[in-house]
Structure formats: structure tokens, C-alpha cells
Structure 1
């Protein structure tokens, strides 16, 4: 009924009857309450005591009586699909005046699930801008970024083969793959640029870069994949979240490593070839629009004055 402070702590004041007046359920009939005219009457005069079944614990959510429902998505369905289905069923089944809400992992997923796509896009944009500043070109970053879809494909395939969900932990792994997949492509593109600047043709530079950087790419990728294996086979509390992250990273990194060796040189040849053609057209247009240069002095009669030309 109240609270008071003592010994630097807050204590609650709870009022209850003496033990001899509350030892039996029927003793509640002897509790007196005030009537409308101000007199005291026992509860037995205005109430009837009955025995019935009731829950031992009443769950409340935001101070409202609530029923807690727990469950998980069926194999082959994502947690987002399960949440959407439960919301549709709740809107259809619950009577007027009832509402529903989420708690725990479902609440966190609903809170950040809508932002995961934007975070992934922002990550791609940031990596692209950093690469564009590093290479001082807009075409070369595309050669690197085209390796990211291979990583995403491998991650989705690995999760699908294990019958796992596309949950928030898997989406964190996808965001990690943006940098991991781009790392392997950077090794190839950077070496290809160096060979191309030395005078080697674009196609030969791309193939030579893939050949020479194959071993470093394989070593770093295998080291990372083997380091993520404990997440894939984790057990105990929180194993499901580690399974989602580990499976996505291992599958995505494997696909990005195997496919990037073959496709990144092709992308480098494609985008660098387009850049060459565009640069050649610009050069031709600039040459055609410039005025003709005068002939050097002494190379022809046109460069001499008229009086000396007659002489």
C-alpha cells in the first residue's frame, strides 16, 4: 500500500491479516468493508464464495493480461515469414479490443529487420566509394563489387541446404560478406591494374593477375573458412545464432573464392575495355575540335612574310 526508505533501500508496505484470520479460505467472509451509507458490513453479506479453476500465474504485457505464444518457423521458411503469418492469423482470430505484440528475439527482428536491407545497401555504397577513391576511377570498383553477388548466392545456398532461417544473424553474416568477397577481388584487380599500367594488354593482365594471386587468395580464404567452422558445428546455448552466421559466412566465402577466380578477370576486362573505348572517343573528339597548329618557322614558304617570299 506504500513504500518507505530505510538503510538506503526502498521497502514496500504490505498489509495482511493476522495468521488466525487468514488460515482458511472461508475466513475471507469475515473481512469487513464499508458500505454506501458509511457502515461496516462483512463480505459474506454481499459476496458468495465459490471454488473454481484458475491459472497459478497471470502473465501481463504492458500492464494488460496477456497470453504468451512461443514457436518457430517450419523448415524451409524464414522467421520473417513466420512472423508475418502469425500477425495475419492474430488479426483474423482475435476478437475486437484485443491486440498483440512481440518480445525477445522476435521483437529485435521486427525492430531491425526492416533496416537490414538499407544497411546492406549502405555497406555496398561505402565500399564502392572507398574503392573509387583508391583507384581514382569509377569503372574499376565495379569489377570488385561484382564479386559480392557470388558471396550472397553461396550464403543463401548453404543456409537453404541446411534448412535454416533467413534471420537477423544470417543478415549480419551477409553484411560481413560484403568486405570478405570484395577482399579477394581487390587482390586480383589491383595486380591486374599494375600489369596493365606496365604495358600488358587488358585481357592478359587480368589472366596473369588471377594466376599469380590464386595462391594468396586460396590461403587467406581457407584460413577464414576453417576459422568459421566452429560456428557451423557449435552446440549449447546460443548455437542457433552461431549456426546462422557460420553457415552463411562459410558458404558465401567458398562461393566467392571459387567463382571470383574465374569471373573477376572477366569483369575487369569488360569494365576496363569500356573505359578504354570511352576514353578513346573523348580523345578523338578533343583532337577534332582543336585548331590546327601553325607550321614551324622556316619549314615552308607559308611561314615567311610576303616581301621575303618573292625574294
Structure 2
């Protein structure tokens, strides 16, 4: 997979593969030696003899309880095998339920993370003075240091710069929160951000937006979604601003969107110079000469370096200060034409004040303006992005939306996910087919995979979590774990079948012999991922996404798998046997 999604998948796959490789090595080389050293031969039934003490009572009670459970389980499996098509209908209903819940699960790219810091942008009206902007920044600092003093450690602010642009009316603040152990759930980064937006929104002299940083710093400057509104038909700057304002108005009325804002400065007064190209050419002037003179006089031009007392210094050419202070100074300048004559600017150019964008914004070479926003509380980023696209359809013809930063990666990941799942299942199927030299074995094994995915989806649904990239990793892990449990039953059943046992008898042998290993390995794995599912603090969003999905998939996949894997094996064997008989 390409993009940041591919990087995340490669990191997880490298971790899992290396861990499994070491596990296989230990199981093959060291485990037999440990078994020979630690395990002692016991006579039949000796492990049921009551031992003294609490440990003896516990283990003997556990064994008796497990034996009764195993007997009930075997009766249940035998009843399922005697009514195969009725229970295959139940399985089909479970598969359908999995598909419906999976589609309805809100989608996003990455979960929100409490990184112990949040940021705030301050933007006062165009032309506001530095003092006016500082007053708004001071109000922001007061809110965090007084109203949120239980959760905020410090505030660092700067005036004249923000992610939206530079100028006297721009400002930015970085709010450092106290350590996670000193903050409860009500003082997480998202609740603090919500309270800040409600309080700072009362300041009428400035637009102030508070937001947490993105989960991956390299993918943008803020959490939420980022997109460009493009002028695909070249209708001009004024039409683009009108479309932007219309879209912002529509977004303000949507219950799925929050904090939708332009990521840039508003139009500012600009001194505009209009050059009559035809008249300049008739006077023997070229546009390059005119632009060079303007750039050198009113800006500067680097010429050379020189050595001054052992240090290298630069030489710049620029108009003297008294000749570039006010608009009227423009009439004092002239340009040399091709005849060596000085032609005043007033002979071929005019000047006037105008409003315009302080920066030239393009996206893929098309005039555009950047907009950022966040999903409303309880709304997934995927649903918020779909809402933006629906609102954009109400704009005049010729304007479109292009996702960028983390939002672009989310869309790209969504388009690649079906191919990833298909490829993963195909590789597992082919590997099992090559290992067991059979098509029926991998078919029986992989039929249990949707049951594990059902568990992962149910767990995320009950916890109100989203279908993000970490959940996708959890689902792929669940497919492998549930398939591993299925192999324990299918392989033993296949061995008994090859030894001459009947299909039902071979399956029941495998069910009886492999229940304890399946339960114990699944229980051990579940206890291992439980800390991830209930984690808190730094990185808890990613940990909970993986832990919840894997734990839910493991529990449901194991509980349903021990009943339905024998059914899958019997049904698949009968289907393949009929096909062979027909051939």
C-alpha cells in the first residue's frame, strides 16, 4: 500500500512477523526441551486426584468444571452437526449482520490522541494593530491559565504569525497541559478544546480557534479535516471568496461539522500598479526591465559578497528610504528604455489601492483557498467529509473540493482497504491449500474469519469507536487468530478422517481433544491485549483502537468458532465429496 497507510501497515506487519518468527523458533527448539524437563508422566486419571491446600482444591474444581463444560459443549456440537443447514442459515444471518454493522460503523483515518498539548489561532480584523491583537491573545492566555488552571501547565503565545498566515492581526498560542496522571477524563484535550471554543467565542474582537495537533505531525497542522475549494472554471478571486463564504455558511448550519474555518488571511489593502504593456512597448520598454526596477527599488536585489574584518557580508541594492515611503514616491521613479532614455512610470503605468489576498493560493495549478474544520462531537471524520462534499454540491457550477493532508490519506486508505483484505485472505487461503494439499481445509478455516470480524465490529460499536486504520490492523490480526483456532480443529479432524473414522466421528474427536488448547490460548491472548483496550494517557487512542478490535474479535471468534468450525468442516467435506462423485 502507498502513502502513510502503507507505512503504518508495514510497521505493524514487520512487528508481528518478527514476533511470530521468534515464537516459532522457540516453539520448535526450546519448547520440547522444556516439556521433557518440566512435565512428568502421569497415570490415566491421576490429575483428578484431590491435592491438599487451596491450589489443589482450585485446580481440581477447575478440572471438574471444565469437564462438565466440555461434555455440554460436545452435546451442543453434535446437535449442530445433525442439523447442518439450519445452522448454516444462522451463520449466513451472522455474516449479514457483520456486513451491515461494518458498513454502518463510522469511518475515520486516525483516532484523536491526547498528546498533552493543544494550539489556538488568533485572527483579528484586517488592518488591526499589534496592540489590538495582543489584547485578544491576553484574553486567550487568561482563559487557559485561570479557567483551566487545573489542567494547563503553561501557555506560550506569539503575535504576528500563525498557521493561517503572517501579519499584525495574526497570533498563535501553544498550550501545554499537565501530565496525564494529573488530569481526569473531563480534562482531556478534547473537553478542554470544547470549553475553550465556547468561552473564546464570546470575544467579539477576534476569531479564535482551539484545536489539538494531528495524530501524525507530518500530516498537516491540525486535527480534523483539511481541503481546498478550487475554482476549476477560472471565475476569479471574488467568485472564489463568495463560494467559500457560502460554503462556510452552509457548514455553520450543519450538525455534523464544527469549527469550519478558512486557513488563511482575509483580503487586505494592497497598492496595485497597472502597467499598460502596449504603451510601455511603444516607449521602448520591456516588462522585464519594468519588473526589475520595481523589485529593486521597492524591494531589494542581492548583488555580491564582500569581506569586512574577516567576515563575509552581503551587498543589496535598494531605494533610499525617503524615496519609497508613500505611494506618491512611485512617480519619482523612471525606467531606462532601449535608447538609454529615462521614461517615468507615470507615462505607462497607473496606481490605486485595492483589496486582495495576501498570498497566492493554488492547488494543482488551480486557484484555490484552504479550509479546515473538525467533526462535531460524536461524528466520525469520514461522515464529516461526506457532509462537506454534499454541501459543496450546492455551490455554483465550477467549484470543487480537493482533500489534502490527513484527509487525503484517509480517502486513499479507504479506496485501498478492499484490495488489502482480499489480498490477505487470498494469501492465507493459498498458503493453507499448499500446506495441506487440499482445497477443503482452507475453505473450512477461512469461513470462521467473518465471525472474528463480527466480534471486532461489535466491540467497536459498543464502545462508540470508529473504523480507523488501527481497527483495520486489528481486523487483519483477528482473521489470523481465528484462523489459527480453526486450524486446531480442522487439522485434527482431517487426521482422524484419513485414519478411517467417519466424518461426524472424526469431527467430534477433534472437538473433544482441541477445546482446552483453544480456550487456553485464546484466554492468554485476550489477557495480553486487555491492557491495550483499557489504556489511558499518551497514545491511548491507537492502543484502544487495536486492543478493542482484537479483543472483541478474539472473544466472539472463539465462542462462535468452537461451535461453527466443526459445522464448516462437515459441510465443506460433504460438498467437496459430492463434487468428486459427480466428476
Q: What is the TM-score normalised by the length of structure 2?
A: 0.40
| Residues 214/3 of structure 1: CA separation in 2 closer, same or farther (3 Å cut) | farther
| Residues 39/140 of structure 1: CA separation in 2 closer, same or farther (3 Å cut) | same
Task: Quote the Cα distance in structure 1 between the aligned partners of 2:406 and 2:540.
Answer: 14
Task: Quote the Cα distance in structure 2 between the aligned partners of 1:101 and 1:172.
Answer: 27
| Residue in 2 that maps onto 1:39 | 344
1:86 aligns with 2:388: yes
1:259 to 560, 563, 566: 560
Task: Quote the Cα distance in structure 1 between the aligned partners of 2:303 and 2:488.
Answer: 68
Task: Quote the Cα distance in structure 1 between the aligned partners of 2:362 and 2:543.
Answer: 30
1:207 to 475, 491, 508: 508
Q: Which stretch has the larger CA shift, 263-272 or 64-73?
A: 64-73
2:436 to 126, 135, 144: 135
| Residue in 1 that maps onto 2:374 | 71
| Residues 144/78 of structure 1: CA separation in 2 closer, same or farther (3 Å cut) | farther
| Residue in 2 that maps onto 1:193 | 494
> What SS does the corresponding residue of 2:393 show, helix, strand or coil?
helix
Q: Which stretch has the larger CA shift, 199-208 or 223-232?
A: 223-232
| Residue in 2 that maps onto 1:276 | 577
> Do 2:470 and 2:546's aligned partners in 1 also have CA atoms closer than 8 Å?
yes
Task: Quote the Cα distance in structure 2 between the aligned partners of 1:204 and 1:12.
Answer: 92
Give the deviation of 1:104 after TM superposition. Answer: 3.0
Give the deviation of 1:178 after TM superposition. Answer: 2.1
Structure 1 unaligned spans of 5+: 283-311
Task: Quote the Cα distance in structure 2 between the aligned partners of 1:30 and 1:125.
Answer: 75
Q: Provide Cα deviations, 1:253-284, integer angstroms capped at 9, x if missing partner.
A: 111111111100111111122333444555xx
| Residue in 1 that maps onto 2:465 | 164
2:529 to 205, 218, 228: 228
| Residue in 1 that maps onto 2:450 | 149
> What SS does the corresponding residue of 2:561 show, helix, strand or coil?
helix
Q: Provide Cα deviations, 1:50-69, integer angstroms capped at 9, x if missing partner.
A: 9x9x99x8695648562432
Give the deviation of 1:143 after TM superposition. Answer: 0.9
Q: Provide Cα deviations, 1:138-173, integer angstroms capped at 9, x if missing partner.
A: 122111011101011111111111112222332232
> Do 1:78 and 1:167's aligned partners in 2 also have CA atoms closer than 8 Å?
no
> What SS does the corresponding residue of 1:38 show, helix, strand or coil?
strand
> What SS does the corresponding residue of 2:423 show, helix, strand or coil?
helix
Give the deviation of 1:179 after TM superposition. Answer: 1.4
Q: Provide Cα deviations, 1:207-262, integer angstroms capped at 9, x if missing partner.
A: 22122212222222223222222332333454333332222211111111111111
Task: Quote the Cα distance in structure 2 between the aligned partners of 1:2 and 1:97.
Answer: 40
| Residue in 2 that maps onto 1:183 | 484
Task: Quote the Cα distance in structure 1 between the aligned partners of 2:507 and 2:438.
Answer: 17
1:101 aligns with 2:406: no
> What SS does the corresponding residue of 1:235 show, helix, strand or coil?
coil
| Residues 208/186 of structure 1: CA separation in 2 closer, same or farther (3 Å cut) | same
Task: Quote the Cα distance in structure 1 between the aligned partners of 2:424 and 2:495.
Answer: 27
Q: What is the TM-score normalised by the length of structure 1?
A: 0.71
> What SS does the corresponding residue of 1:32 show, helix, strand or coil?
helix
Task: Quote the Cα distance in structure 1 between the aligned partners of 2:397 and 2:557.
Answer: 52
